Amino acid sequence: MELKQFKYFISIVESGSFGKASKKLDVGTSALSQQISKLEDELSTRLLQRNTQGVTPTPAGLAFYKQAQLV
């Protein structure tokens, strides 16, 4: 788990989409997606629910978001 993954995850949750977060962070959308997938694999749980309107945190993602903000 890397610190940048925390930063990326927080930005995605707060902006509600990978696209908006990628612009805010000046990082490619595919790079964000890869880092979040890697984070989800490391934690063995889904953190974000992806849909056509953007993303919302799962219950596990919401708990992780609250902890990530403290880091």
* H helical segments located in the chain: 3-15, 18-25, 29-43, 59-70
pLDDT tens figures, 14-44: 999 999 999 999 999 999 999 999 999 999 9
Which H or E element spans position 26? Answer: none
Q: How far is CA 25 from CA 31, 43, 45, 60, in A?
A: 11, 23, 24, 24
pLDDT at 51: 87
Which single residue is written with the structure tokens 């997938």?
37
Which single residue is written with the structure tokens 């903000």?
69
pTM for this entry: 0.88
